[in-house]
Structure 1
């Protein structure tokens, strides 16, 4: 059943009592069973009811948004009439109270302290590390070699994250952190989409035990590296050093606990999200040879026989488009939520305080109204002159508004430079067969992604 959302909203404003349509749920659980079974498919089905859809996340009233106008209202009004939601004990165990989770004055203070470390000038200084790590991987690959792209990209982005966050000469155990983050990501996704989302924090579960053990590994590694940095007597160019010296307007610095939380946040942004984006990019390139040829043509034209640097980022417009189109079809962050505060409204429709509002990049970025032939991988749609016209917030892989992802530019530069280094030398022939996305903390492939390396 569908509804004309505009008519429903207008009727509500005029006091005629029209309600926004949505699926039926079951007592207490609401629509959680359908959501937990397959969140992406569930949101796709919600879209059939219209652009504003009511549903229930357990006993909690929820509203799903599919129209970019409404999504823009949610994103730009966060911190004013929408709050960050409570994301559960599993999420908090890993993320702590970092800038992604914090609210109000605490969020504003932390954002002001973290933001300088990922500004364009700083990202420029990290670009050489990104390219160097990619070159090290390219030097190890050989023609005809069989690789698991998922594993290769994870190891590569781990190495980049460790070097840019902790420093090139750190003794941080990248593999230990990586394994712990894999467990954390899996358990966060499982709890968020299952019955665990409704359980009180004090209820013990196997998943919560696993995530506590993973968080303990992460805490120990971060604490060890922070201690080493504090003992150093020289200035370092890494992100952690910048966080350790950052001061707010009162001259106060981040506490050890806050340093830990922001370091983990930056690690996830610099590793988990970029790794996933690169895996999906190789998967799509292998299935669209004409795109792969166009990408190779740009790399030959712009780079020739040399490796890319930060100055090349702006020139690699088609490579950027490949990354943007990958993020459209397989958005690493696939869900954004907020909680209505007093005075909140969407499209003129007043919301009861406490209503949870949801939007999904997976649904809106695959909507034919904004992206013709939405299932096709067409980087050309991002061409500045001949590309598709789309409304603001039809594409929002990094969120938007005041809480837009601080690491968005870091992630884009990293993805483009890594892709440029590797695709200049090689093509990856991914094995036949569909790879399905699994919505955990980020959107991950459901299995290993095997490929044969082909030298260009």
Structure 2
């Protein structure tokens, strides 16, 4: 029997402003409160109506029908202006072709080959750490994920100077994109201010590097086993591949998607482990047993059960992508309510992941809720760290592999301890839900076999 969905209107709208103040001052609390009202809840953004999807099945229905409920709304429309028409920001009209062309870069055999690069970059990072050192965890994880992404994307021709250029450019671009996407359009973006000049210079520098590498790769004419080789050689059924402009857009999109989400995920993992010593001990026992002192590789992931559950539960509690929009491309009906073309819909993985009817005690960090014997039949749409449907994240397998290899390898050699008195909070003024401030103290540890020898 089909479920009957309920609709409601959120209370507390202010004249002219609507619910804008609630979304700015306490968006997570406001969003999670809506699920008690109905499955589809109307909110006001200034004078405009929008709807928040609060039910997992209803959300899944919308995500499956990406023709009717297309990527659009304030975030994507603005993101398209800043990032170009890449895989994340493009509309349904362009998505099918782009995804078909890029998909081979994320097939399992490619992901396995990238894993060696991941392990090497993890070791390069942690070899620079010192016992007792206090680190900015988010900054360290950003450095790691930029290096991993750069080396998996451009394995054939990249050197240390290129990686430094990418790192410096991405720091500026990330802040600039967040400011432009999250804030309303303003004339300030066009003024020759220092922040605007730095943003345009960083974006131009990354584009110039991409064009240089396109020329180098085409001149070499070989598959370097990396993502960039796939982007250059991909062709559809008509033999048409990606243009240079489209490759530029995909490179920027891949960097932003991979670096921001993975750095944020790993940062939350370290914070949660530091706050839960028992679970941290279970993780250390596992990585010492499975790895026995060596760097993790792709073949280890299947045996790293605790590691995987820690990552999954972190993604449930603190999904990096916490709020997304869709736009109706034609008149339609949803939950029994007629919606005109151009209606904006919001869906929030954070909201769905914190429903008490789906996850008992939803604010508790409990990796064991993902043990096979504990996992009940979840509704489709109840767990959406990577989205769903045709627009599901193309790099989900790659992301899980990177997180698993990084977490297991680092945890086998280091323990990250919290700094007392520091109140870590999620930032909601960014495109991702990152923990700030997150400074932790490094404690060097020995793998189990070395402890036994000692």
Matched position secondary structure for 2:369: helix
Aligned to 1:443: 433
Q: Does structure 1 residue 85 correspond to structure 2 residue 75?
A: no
In the TM superposition, what is the alpha-carbon distance from 1:389 to its structure 2 partner?
A: 4.5
Unaligned runs of 5+ in 2: 447-454
- Evaluate the alpha carbon distance shift between residue 8 and residue 222 of structure 1 in structure 2; reply closer, same or farther with a 3 A threshold: same
1:423 maps to which of 408, 411, 421:
411
1:39-58 counterparts in 2 under 5 A? 39-58=27-46
Aligned to 1:395: 383
Contact residue 118 and residue 402 of structure 2 kept, 8 A:
yes
Aligned to 1:293: 281
Provide the C-alpha distance between the structure 2 equivalents of 1:303 and 1:187, rounded to a whole number of angstroms: 40
Q: Does structure 1 residue 247 correspond to structure 2 residue 235?
A: yes
Aligned to 2:396: 408
Aligned to 1:359: 347
Contact residue 36 and residue 193 of structure 1 kept, 8 A:
no
Provide the C-alpha distance between the structure 2 equivalents of 1:137 and 1:202, rounded to a whole number of angstroms: 36
Aligned to 1:170: 158
Deviations 1:413-440 (A, max 9, x none): 0000110111011111121222111131
In the TM superposition, what is the alpha-carbon distance from 1:403 to its structure 2 partner?
A: 0.6
In the TM superposition, what is the alpha-carbon distance from 1:335 to its structure 2 partner?
A: 1.4
In the TM superposition, what is the alpha-carbon distance from 1:384 to its structure 2 partner?
A: 1.4
Q: Does structure 1 residue 453 correspond to structure 2 residue 443?
A: yes
Unaligned runs of 5+ in 1: 10-19
Contact residue 129 and residue 163 of structure 1 kept, 8 A:
yes
Provide the C-alpha distance between the structure 2 equivalents of 1:119 and 1:28, rounded to a whole number of angstroms: 49
In the TM superposition, what is the alpha-carbon distance from 1:317 to its structure 2 partner?
A: 1.8
- Evaluate the alpha carbon distance shift between residue 152 and residue 200 of structure 1 in structure 2; reply closer, same or farther with a 3 A threshold: closer
Contact residue 429 and residue 454 of structure 1 kept, 8 A:
no
Aligned to 1:15: none
- Evaluate the alpha carbon distance shift between residue 48 and residue 276 of structure 1 in structure 2; reply closer, same or farther with a 3 A threshold: same
Contact residue 142 and residue 455 of structure 1 kept, 8 A:
no
Contact residue 90 and residue 208 of structure 1 kept, 8 A:
no
Provide the C-alpha distance between the structure 2 equivalents of 1:409 and 1:178, rounded to a whole number of angstroms: 24
Aligned to 1:187: 176
Aligned to 2:452: none
Deviates more, 1:382-391 or 1:307-316: 382-391
Provide the C-alpha distance between the structure 2 equivalents of 1:350 and 1:91, rounded to a whole number of angstroms: 28
Aligned to 2:61: 73
In the TM superposition, what is the alpha-carbon distance from 1:38 to its structure 2 partner?
A: 3.8
Provide the C-alpha distance between the structure 2 equivalents of 1:375 and 1:304, rounded to a whole number of angstroms: 33
In the TM superposition, what is the alpha-carbon distance from 1:128 to its structure 2 partner?
A: 0.8
In the TM superposition, what is the alpha-carbon distance from 1:273 to its structure 2 partner?
A: 1.1
In the TM superposition, what is the alpha-carbon distance from 1:100 to its structure 2 partner?
A: 1.3
Deviations 1:205-253 (A, max 9, x none): 9676654343223222322322322232433111011110110111011
Contact residue 157 and residue 213 of structure 2 kept, 8 A:
no
In the TM superposition, what is the alpha-carbon distance from 1:448 to its structure 2 partner?
A: 4.5
- Evaluate the alpha carbon distance shift between residue 230 and residue 60 of structure 1 in structure 2; reply closer, same or farther with a 3 A threshold: farther
**TM-score, scaled to structure 2:** 0.89
- Evaluate the alpha carbon distance shift between residue 209 and residue 34 of structure 1 in structure 2; reply closer, same or farther with a 3 A threshold: farther
In the TM superposition, what is the alpha-carbon distance from 1:127 to its structure 2 partner?
A: 0.7
- Evaluate the alpha carbon distance shift between residue 226 and residue 27 of structure 1 in structure 2; reply closer, same or farther with a 3 A threshold: farther
Provide the C-alpha distance between the structure 2 equivalents of 1:22 and 1:256, rounded to a whole number of angstroms: 46
- Evaluate the alpha carbon distance shift between residue 219 and residue 435 of structure 1 in structure 2; reply closer, same or farther with a 3 A threshold: same
Provide the C-alpha distance between the structure 1 equivalents of 2:172 and 2:334, rounded to a whole number of angstroms: 37
2:94 maps to which of 106, 126, 145:
106
Q: Does structure 1 residue 317 correspond to structure 2 residue 305?
A: yes
Matched position secondary structure for 2:362: coil
